[in-house]
Amino acid sequence: MALVNDNYLKLKAGYLFPEIGRRVAKFAEENPHAKIIRLGIGDVTEPLPPACTDAMHKAVDEMANRATFRGYGPEQGFDFLRNAIAQQDFVSRKADVSADEIFVSDGSKCDTGNILDIFGAGNVVAVTDPVYPVYVDTNVMAGRTGVADDTGRYERLVYLPVTAENNFTPSLPQEKVDLIYLCYPNNPTGTVATQETLKAFVNYAKANDAILFFDAAYEAYITDPAIPHSIYEIAGARDVAIEFRSFSKTAGFTGTRCAYTVVPKELTARAGDGSKVELHGLWNRRHSTKFNGVSYIIQRGAEAVYSDTGRPQVRALIDFYLENAAILCRGLRDAGLIVHGGVNAPYVWLKTPGGMTSWQFFDHLLSKSHLVGTPGSGFGAAGEGYFRLSAFNSRAHVEEAVCRIQQLLS
Ligand code: MLT
């Protein structure tokens, strides 16, 4: 009989968001008249910027014409997009990244999981706690952990707590680790990492021959000019870091799918025989073997994000969600809640009221106010007693959600 990957049997229940979806679907079935507002999964609601859809329409027309039709594109992405990314996301911020270090893909969720293919099973992995669950679950699937305890913490993973007590700043690992995931602006807490914090992690990585996985999917939401947008703004980061970026939250591409990963040419890790291996070549091998590139139409849409017409449209989209976050923060504070994040990120991280657990508050909010958020404990043990609200929704829904929470807590 065929054997399964036993590591999958160590995974806790379902992936967080489908699990929430199941609970909400059950509630909706039992309460068909409830007007449910969803501030759970961070999924965009506003349409794509017109510059992007115009570019996609034009690309569709090209595909309809024999002279301009295209089949397979380069697996790593078309040069027109890679050049725009290198120039506008990095060189303009004095971060040294060249176009051929950029691998265009269909999502950062996939990339942060897939990157593990090129790393050995014996690596010790550190994650913040709470954390985007994909980092943990993909390491469980790959066999880099033992089993989980009752709080959901897996043996052999190193957890770096980020809570109000440490101002949501992770300490450096006390032990030697090989791979460290950092997500800034942070999902789920909506907090940011300063230049000093990132510098400390780069220095740790250099001293310990570790690699940083820097997920910057939310960098476009940074409003504070002192906060780095890219790990490559930190001196020395090219030697130790891989960065993940996405068009999902920047330009509303969650359904359209486009993202990219940066693997600098100088980045190396060790082979079993002790020799140094360049990760750029390894990732290129993996990417071109298992992936056939993002569609031409979508890459043209992504390119338009960087155009003269696209840039202000994308800015307006981000500002819209940031204003939603500000409305949530103000409204929740007025309701007496302790609130974090929401200034440089589209997520608001609140302390549950009255000592409720995260799931108790989830059920309370759903049953009494017909609002959906995400229980903090779903992101890790240190998220217990916290709750995440996403700013991705219409203005009317966000304002209505604030009113309902204020009524609930009054
Ligand atoms: C979230 O809600 O945390 C996001 O939707 C995650 C993602 O982008 O996959």
| Mutational pocket test of ligand 1: of 20, 41, 379, the residue with most ligand atoms within 8 Å of the beta carbon | 41
The answer on 167 and 65 residing in a single domain is yes
pLDDT score, position 18: 83
- CATH classification of the domain holding 187: 3.40.640.10
Give a yes or no: residue 150 inside a domain. yes
Residue nearest atom 6 in ligand 1 by C-alpha distance: 42
**310 has a pLDDT exceeding 90:** yes
pLDDT score, position 133: 94
Last residue of a domain, one of 304, 338, 363: 304
Arithmetic mean of pLDDT over the chain: 97
pLDDT score, position 303: 98
Pick from 304, 297, 262: nearest CA to 283 = 262
The answer on 348 and 246 residing in a single domain is no
Residue nearest atom 4 in ligand 1 by C-alpha distance: 42
The answer on 150 and 19 residing in a single domain is no
**13 has a pLDDT exceeding 90:** no
**pLDDT-based confidence at residue 205 (cuts at 50, 70, 90):** very high
- The domain tally of the chain equals 2
The answer on 399 and 251 residing in a single domain is no
Nearest ligand 1 atom to the CA of 187 is: 3
- Inter-axis angle of helices 50-63 and 310-334, nearest 10: 140
The answer on 331 and 296 residing in a single domain is no
28 within ligand 1 shell (Cβ under 6 A): no
The answer on 278 and 152 residing in a single domain is yes
Last residue of a domain, one of 286, 304, 322: 304
**220 has a pLDDT exceeding 80:** yes
Average pLDDT over residues 305-311: 98
Query: Which range has the worst mean pLDDT, 10-14, 331-335, 406-410?
Result: 10-14
pLDDT (tens digit per residue) in 248-292 = 999 999 999 999 999 999 999 999 999 999 999 999 999 999 999
**134 has a pLDDT exceeding 90:** yes
**14 has a pLDDT exceeding 80:** no
| Mutational pocket test of ligand 1: of 15, 43, 388, the residue with most ligand atoms within 8 Å of the beta carbon | 43
The answer on 264 and 138 residing in a single domain is yes
DSSP helix/strand/coil, 32: coil
* First and final C-alpha spacing in the chain: 60
Query: What is the dihedral sign for C-alpha 33, 38, 41, 47?
Result: positive
pLDDT score, position 150: 86
pLDDT score, position 93: 93
pLDDT (tens digit per residue) in 71-113 = 999 999 999 999 999 999 999 999 999 999 999 999 999 999 9
Give a yes or no: residue 1 inside a domain. no
**pLDDT-based confidence at residue 151 (cuts at 50, 70, 90):** confident
**Read out DSSP for 116-150?**
GGGS-TT--EEEEES--HHHHHHHHHTT----B-T
The answer on 284 and 377 residing in a single domain is no
Give a yes or no: residue 291 inside a domain. yes
Q: Kind and range of the H or E element at 158?
A: strand 157-161
What's the CA-to-centroid distance between 270 and ligand 1, angstroms?
Answer: 32
Give a yes or no: residue 403 inside a domain. yes
> What residues make up the domain containing 252?
53-304
Phi, psi of 316 (to 5 degrees): -65, -35
Beta strands 125-129 and 179-183 are parallel
pLDDT-above-90 percentage for the chain: 97
The answer on 226 and 93 residing in a single domain is yes
